[in-house]
Amino acid sequence: MYAETERLLVRDFGLEDVEALAKIKYDPQVVEYLPGFIKRDASHQEIKEAIAYYDRVKGTGNYEEEVLYAIVLKESQEIIGVITISDSSFLYELQVGWVVRGEHCGRGYASEATIALTDYLFHSGHYDYLIAVMDVDNPASYQTALKSGFLLFEKRTVYDYKYGRYCDDYYYFRKFNPNSKVKYRFYGELEYDGRHS
């Protein structure tokens, strides 16, 4: 995958990017909000194996495992973050995610990269919509989702049936393909036609 924006490149990771990806993975900002990113305590060899996996599945539409793309500053060629695609294991929908190293947060890079990726997926795939989910205590990602064209669909609470308890709340966003034939996208869009009482 390759996309270019005003300030960024969004591209595949290469084996030469292992150190940059490790730096992102262990950035305090990333660890706080995405501790399972790649694999906890991943070695450089395991990061290299993950990059090889991304290379194998790119363009196949197989996102059973999370696939990562590099967010690169165009001017310096520095990799500052990651944008992800995955088939959500519990929602069964194509999910987009993002992380940016702490020193580069607050400059709109995540939303700029997310718009580029979603545009790419809508033009190259057969997706009516994409989703983004995040914990309710992550206001930066909430704002990134809105700036990227996602709309809040609902706030959800997870119930853990195994342990019989409620877990953390999260926000569930959707962004629809402008060319989608799906007519009604959000609650309340179905117009009342007078046939039901």
Q: How many domains does the chain have?
A: 1
Query: What is the per-residue pLDDT across 18-51, written as a single tens digit (0 to 9) for each?
Result: 999 888 888 887 776 554 556 667 788 888 888 8
Higher pLDDT: 195 or 94? It is 94
Distance, CA of 146 to CA of 91 (rounded, Å): 20
Instruction: Please report whether residue 193 resides in a domain.
Output: no
Residue 95, pLDDT above cutoff 70: yes
Domain of 136: which CATH number?
3.40.630.30
* Spatial CA neighbour of 183 closest among 108, 141, 109, 129: 129
Overall pTM surpassing 0.85 (yes/no): no
Instruction: Please report whether residue 6 resides in a domain.
Output: yes
Query: What is the per-residue pLDDT across 118-137, written as a single tens digit (0 to 9) for each?
Result: 999 999 877 889 999 998 88
DSSP three-state, residue 30: helix
Instruction: Please report whether residue 47 resides in a domain.
Output: yes
pLDDT band of 181, cuts 50, 70, 90: confident
Instruction: Please report whether residue 45 resides in a domain.
Output: yes
Distance, CA of 119 to CA of 15 (rounded, Å): 26
Domain interval for residue 64: 2-176
pLDDT for res 191: 47
Instruction: Please report whether residue 189 resides in a domain.
Output: no
With b meaning 16 or more CB within 10 Å and e meaning fewer, what string describes 140-177? Answer: ebbebbeebbbeebeeeeeeeeeeeeeeeebbbbbbbb
Instruction: Please report whether residue 184 resides in a domain.
Output: no
Instruction: Please report whether residue 95 resides in a domain.
Output: yes
pLDDT band of 163, cuts 50, 70, 90: low
Q: How many other CB atoms are found less than 10 A from the CB of residue 60?
A: 8
Instruction: Work out the percent of the chain whose per-residue pLDDT is above 70.
Output: 80
Backbone angles phi, psi at 15, to 5 degrees: -60, -25
* Spatial CA neighbour of 144 closest among 87, 81, 187: 81
Instruction: Please report whether residue 194 resides in a domain.
Output: no
